[in-house]
Every structure is written in structure tokens, then in C-alpha cells.
Structure 1
Amino acid sequence: MTHRLLGLGLLAVVLALLPLGLPNNFYLDMAILAGLNAIVCVGLNLLVGFAGQVSLGHAGFFGIGAYATAVLVSTHKWPALLALAAGALLSAVIAFAVARPILRLKGHYLAMATLGIGIIISIVLRTETRITGGPDGMIVDPLNVFGFEVYGERVWYWVVAGLLLVTVWLALNLIDSPVGRALRALHGSEVAAETLGVDTARFKAMVFVLSAVFASVAGSLFAHYAGLITPAKADFLKSVELVTMVVFGGMASTFGAVVGAAILTVLPQLLTVFQDYQHMMLGLILMLTMVFMPKGLLPTLAGLVQARTSLGGRR
């Protein structure tokens, strides 16, 4: 628990000091997008890393949040916070409705089922042109909270950074609770967890819904920040990108999910020469991570530091 509090404090310091080292709004924009991806990945890591359940359709919930906000705020003139809550509720309802049947599956069957859910959501967003604008997307009004309009990269950075800290804090508290211990138990062995009295179906459904809500909230904020949302943000490749971030940073590591999201959001901008091969590069990164760093980047580095410290102490 102490290490996690220290990690949360270090994350807060990094987020507070980061704007001082960013020379212009382009880098602030990258930091904002990385923060939004990190919010999704923290929730997805609870499902994949701690509960051991695969999801290849989480971009769909990101899209639900984004489009719920776009439609309710821009078309029906709802207050932004109410629209964000409505999008989160809709994502939660859909996630709960599909969680029980699909989470009975295991392995590649589960992966295919979640992939199907994401594809269905993406198809609906593309074809319901009267509501969503179709492939061209929708223009979204700026975020307005109690008469204050959130405008400019620097203000948006603090909004996203604050929400990321809250998300990480919630995830850490969940992990240290009896619910977190139940999730780790079913990840280790679902049969053993059931033998010990853990209602695995209920806990899997709960964490699936929670991760969907995190993705929906991030999607709503992205819609306001970007000012334009298209179905591409809810497609299969976006889901693969999110899973790659979690695996690369370190499954069952909340801070690893943040690091993975940050690196893989910024990396494509630094390697613009490979822009046409972005998804091939993501696949290569995922493959190399599984081969050489099966625990992910952050847990591997932490293990190396710990081993070197232990070796130094013996000397």
C-alpha cells in the first residue's frame, strides 16, 4: 500500500511539472491525448491485467461516450456533465447486458466475442447517419461547466491530469480492497476462486462494467476536446491499440498502464516516417514485449532495479 501511495504521489509530481518542460501546444496536445488513453488503459488493465479477461472491443465504449456527448450536447443542448453521465450510464448498461453471457467464454472465444461487440458498435456509429453523421462524424460543442468554457490546451491539460489522478487513485483503492483480491484470485484460477466462495461471474461483470465506464468518460472528454468525433475512434484497430498499451506498460500494473499509454501515444508522432505502418509497428511492439518482457515494461524495469539492489546489498 505504501509503495502505491508513493507511486501516486510521484505521478502527481510528474503531472504537475510536465507542462514546464513542454515548449508549445503541440506537446501539450500529445500529453492530453496520452492522459485520455491512460484513463481508458487503467480501467482496461483492471479487466485484462487483474481479472484476466480479454477485451478487443473497448474502443466501442470509448465511442459510445464520445457520441453520447456529441448528440446530447450539440444536438439536444444538454448540459455537458449530464451528457457525460448519460454516456457513462449507457456504456454501463450495455456492458452489463453483454457481460454475463460473453464472460462465460474463455481464451480466444472470449476475445472473438468482445471483438464482435466492438465491431457492432462501430457499424452502428457508421450507419446511423441521421443520428451520428455517419463516416464523416459530428462536430461537438466545447465543454461548458457551470458557465465556464474549457478552452485551450493548457486548461485541458489540467482537466485531464486531474481526472487521471482520480482514476488511478480509484483503481489503486479497488486493487487493495476485497474486490481486488477476488479479481486476482479469479485471474490465478477461476475454479480455485469459486471453491473459496468467490462469485466469479459477478466480479467479472462488475469489472467489465467499470472499465467500460472509464472508457466512456474518456471518450466524452475527447469529443469535447477534439471538437470532432468520427467512428474511427471506436473501431477494431483502436481497441488493439489500447490492449497493446496495457500489455506494453505491464499487465496487473496500474502505473504500467499509464506509462504504456504515454509511450505508445507519443511514439507514433516521433516515428512519422513509419506513419503508413503504424499498426504493423504496434503489432511488432506487442510481439517483442511478449517475448522479451512478458510482464511488461514497468514491472520488468522494477524487477531489474530490485535485483540489482539485492545484489548490491549482498556485496
Structure 2
Amino acid sequence: MRKTSMYISLGVLALALAIAPFVISNAFYLDLVIRISMNAIVVLGLNLLVGFAGQISLGHAGFLGIGAYASAVLPTHFGWHPLPAMLAGAVICGLLAAAIARPIFRLKGHYLAMATLGLGILVNIVLRNESQLTGGPDGMPLPTMGLFGLELSSDRHWYWVVAIFLVVSVWASLNLIDSPFGRALRALHGSEVASRVVGVNVVRYKVTIFTMSAVFASIMGSVMAHYVGMVTPGFADFFHSIELITMVVVGGMASVWGSLLGAALLTALPQALATFEGWETVIFGAILMLFMIFLPKGIVPTLASKFGKKGD
């Protein structure tokens, strides 16, 4: 029954994404949907780490920045094709995450938050200072990306690429959390001591989910950079990390569909508030405060518990 419900929900998402470009005629709204989808994929990976495994990360934009710059630096300076450059960025992020996860996850609470925050800030500083490779604070342009002989030069081309990425990411996340690996993550979130008692290798699961989440971010950093056509250190900025974690919290931690809703809301809301010139930041902050006061578990889990359903 649960599997059937999962595939129905996934089918509805795929159908909505398939219909959307034929319904949306305005280029601005198509661009907004693409950005929402890209953010949703990053937030899905982050939610696996934060929501399901209970491990905080305040520097996740650092991995996104590494992926973005790999897709800029390797083709520009070393003549790589954009697709292998994207894969190289994912491998670099995966290896970096696996290397630092063991010492970082020995920390708890505020100390863990500060360690991940420091990682993101360090990546941002390197990207700003290595100007010969990265272009410094001004960033650098990216070459046009081709896929299977097709040059991805229009928003509609990018829409289909990102839509496929999103459906696959949601499918993978839903299957992951329903697997023994996902159940181990939930146990880890509940109690590390109890998890060890029942035979869960706590360190291995922490390292694995942190690495997977970093790879998610790196791949979408590359996609975002190619879509925009320009990469700057802002990709790895501290505020970008906070924006991503806020999407997780607002949508609902430990909820796949909450990740999508949080990404949609926090990507679209600033655009909708742009008409309130000079007040948009105040109104945006007030809306977030109201969400946290009245929906402390996030939108999807709160509504799901109210109507007696699970929020995965």
C-alpha cells in the first residue's frame, strides 16, 4: 500500500512537470520553475542528512560552489568537456566529504554546526582568493553545455534536463528512506546509543549520508552554473547555506515532499514580495516567523499529522 501511494505521488509529480512547459508561456515563470526544481534537488540531499539522519550542516553551499567552479575551471583552463568536468566536481566533493566527515561528526550540537559552517566559509574564501583560477570575486563565465549532441541553449532545454533530474532524485530519495539504509538513518536520528546497541554502524552511516548529500549539491551546483552561464563565489556563500537549511526546516524535516514545498516557497516568495519595495525583507522574515510559530515541524509534517498521514 505504501509503495503504491509512493508511485502514485511520483506519477503525479512527473505528469505535472511534463505538462508545465506547455501551460507556462511566460519566460519568467519558466525560469522560476527551473530554479525551484534545482533548489529542490539540493534540499532533498540536505534533508536526508539533516531531517532523516539528524546531522546539521550549515556550510552545504560550499559543496554546491565546488561543483559549480569545477564546471567552470576545468573546461576553461584545462580544456575538459563540461560533462566530465561535472562528474569530476561530484567526485571531488564526495572525496572531500568522506575525508572530513569522520572528524566533523565526532562533534555534537553547536560544535558540529560551527564545524560545518567553517567548512563552507573556507571554501568561499578559497574561491574568492584564487583569482587566477576562479576569477576572484567577479567570478567567471562558463562554456555552453552539450548533452547527447544537443546544445543546451534555451530555457526549455534546461527545463527538461532539470525536470528529469528532479523526478529521479525524488524517486531515489523515496526508495532510500524506505530501505534498510533509510531505517538505519531514522534510528540514528532517534538515538545514536540505541542504534549502536542494535548493531547500526553509526560512523559509517554518517559518513555515507554526508557524502551522498555533498554529491547531490555538487551536481546541482554544476547544473545551476551552466544554466546561469556564470559562476561567482556567491554560490558558496554562507547566506546561501542558511537559505538551503531554511528550505528544509520550513518544508518539513524528514519529509521528501516537504523538501519540494520548502524549495518552491522560499524560491518563489522573494519574487512575489518584490513589489513591496524596501519592505520585502521585513515581510519575508515575518512570514518565516509565522511558519515557525504555527508550523514548528514544517508545513508538510504538520499538515500530514493533522490529517493522519505520514509526510514522506
TM range (shorter): over 0.9
Change in CA separation of 1:4 and 1:114 when aligned onto 2, cut-off 3 Å: same
CA distance in 1, matches of 2:123, 2:174: 30
Q: In 1, Cα distance between the equivalents of 2:279 and 2:193?
A: 42
**CA distance, structure 1, for counterparts of residue 58 and residue 285 of structure 2:** 14
Cα RMSD (Å)? 1.7
Cα distance in 1 between the residues matched to 2:6 and 2:24: 27
User: Quick one: percent identity of the two aligned structures?
Assistant: 58
- Corresponding residue of 2:262: 260
Paired with 2:5 and 2:247, the residues of 1 have a C-alpha distance of 23
**Once the 2 structures are TM-superposed, how far is the Cα of residue 275 of structure 1 from its aligned partner?**
6.8
Q: With structure 1 as the length reference, what TM-score do the two structures score? A: 0.93
- What residue in structure 1 maps to residue 153 of structure 2? 151
Find the counterpart in structure 1 of residue 10 from structure 2: 8
> 215, 219, 224: which one pairs with 2:221?
219
Partner of 2:291: 289
Q: Is the 8 A contact 1:95 1:208 kept in 2?
A: yes
Residue 271 of structure 1 aligns to a residue in which SS? helix
Correspondence for 1:168 among 165, 170, 184 = 170
Q: Is the 8 A contact 1:140 1:229 kept in 2?
A: yes
Written as runs of structure 1 = structure 2, the 5 A alignment for 1:24-173 is 24-173=26-175
TM-score, structure 2 length as denominator? 0.94
Range with bigger deviation, 272-281 or 175-184 = 272-281
**Which residue type is aligned with residue 150 of structure 1?**
L
Q: Deviations over 1:159-190 (max 9, x none)?
A: 00000111111111111111100000010111
Instruction: Work out whether residues 4 and 172 of structure 1, in 8 Å CA contact, stay in contact via their aligned partners in 2.
Output: yes
Shift of 1:279: 6.2
Offset at 1:136? 0.2
CA contact (8 A) 1:121 1:234 kept: yes
One-letter amino acid of the counterpart of residue 252, structure 2: G
Aligned pairs, how many? 307
Indicate the residue corresponding to 1:271 in structure 2: 273
Task: Please tell me the residue identity of whatever aligns with 1:83.
Answer: A
Higher mean alpha-carbon deviation, 219-228 vs 11-20, is at 11-20
Structure 1 residue 198 and structure 2 residue 200: aligned? yes
CA separation of 1:130 and 1:89: change in aligned 2, threshold 3 A: same
Q: Which runs of 5+ in 1 are unaligned?
A: 308-315
Counterparts of 1:195 and 1:8 in 2: how far apart (Å)?
A: 36
Does structure 1 conserve the Cα–Cα contact (< 8 Å) formed by 2:52 and 2:185?
yes
